[in-house]
Amino acid sequence: MSADPKFARIAIVGLGLIGGSLGYAVKRGKLADHIVGYATSEATRRRALDLGFIDSAAASLAEAVSDADLVVLCTPVGALGDVAAAIEKHLKKGAILTDAGSVKTAVIRDVGPFVPEGVSFIPGHPIAGTEQSGPDAGFAELFDGRWCILTPVPGTDRAALTKLTAFWEACGSKVDVMEPKHHDLVLAIVSHLPHLIAYNIVGTADDLETVTESEVIKYSAGGFRDFTRLASSDPTMWRDICLNNKDAILEMLGRFSEDLSAMQRMIRWGDGEGLFALFTRTRAVRRAIIDAGQDVSAPNFGRNPGQAGPGGGRG
């Protein structure tokens, strides 16, 4: 039997792309009587109120969470420990505490010790996003058709997990439950490595002396510009992901380096057959992503000539 996805009062802490999109999705689905929001700066809190994805702005973390039935932490991962310490004494008994952080083992390490008796802490991660950040980046449809991974800790209350699952489904998501460590390994390959490759290739191009910057920009449609979208993602968020998913990222970077060396060797020795076989195999992966409804089949990511394409950088 599915649970009621609604909460009387929801607190959203962090009012950027994810917090904002969540506020809009909650409003669209009429999933709360009241949404209270909190962000560090007064400017962000005021902007969120003006945009209308929260009903009220709290002046402090304590005030934001004190009467909330669901608290969703949507700050950068590196801030979550301090936020948890500040709200510990103010969380309501019976409340569900969750987050949207892009890594899970480190979040459990940092937030777990501050979860009081009677509060259900269920870490989460919506696999949806863009390269934009801040309150103006949010939109109601962000989570539609995208997966949200919940990584419950031992002893998690089943009813709370069922209710949080129903909540994310009502926000448009499909929900999977996973071990935190496995989550971090999976995300290292599908999200963290692609972003790091993009940051690296754009950095390399920026350092080149034999090709001018104006040439890199002028001829970017050759493939480079697709990397620049990922490489324009929020620096704070990606610094925190690297620092907090170190082991899994280093493991995937190691494998990537080995495969890159193998490719280098194929090019050096003119192994056309090997290169052709690899490029054929990777094409099939793209096909599978489209078949699974996780991207569109339109050429060039659905861009019209001369137009910027839809977003999709995902933490």
Residues that bind ligand NAP in the complex, under the rule CB under 6 A? 13-19, 38-41, 44, 74-77, 79, 82-83, 100-102, 125-126, 129, 133-134, 234, 237, 313-315
Environment class of residue 77 by beta-carbon count within 10 Å: exposed (0-12), middle (13-18) or buried (19+)? Answer: buried
**Residue 191: DSSP 8-state:** I
Q: Residue 190 has which token pair? A: 């599908």
* Closer of 44 and 165 to ligand NAP (Cβ): 44
* Closer of 143 and 205 to ligand NAP (Cβ): 143
| Pick from 109, 63, 110: nearest CA to 89 | 63
Residue 42 beta carbon to ligand NAP: minimum distance, rounded to whole angstroms: 8
Residue 238 beta carbon to ligand NAP: minimum distance, rounded to whole angstroms: 9
* Closer of 174 and 263 to ligand NAP (Cβ): 174
Residue type, 131: E
| Cβ 137 vs Cβ 16: under 8 Å | yes
Distance CA 115, CA 87 (A): 9
Residue 254 beta carbon to ligand NAP: minimum distance, rounded to whole angstroms: 23
Residue 63 beta carbon to ligand NAP: minimum distance, rounded to whole angstroms: 12
| Cβ 296 vs Cβ 303: under 8 Å | no
* Closer of 110 and 205 to ligand NAP (Cβ): 110
* Closer of 40 and 220 to ligand NAP (Cβ): 40
Cross-sheet strand order for the sheet of 124-126:
124-126, 147-150, 174-177
Residue 117 beta carbon to ligand NAP: minimum distance, rounded to whole angstroms: 24
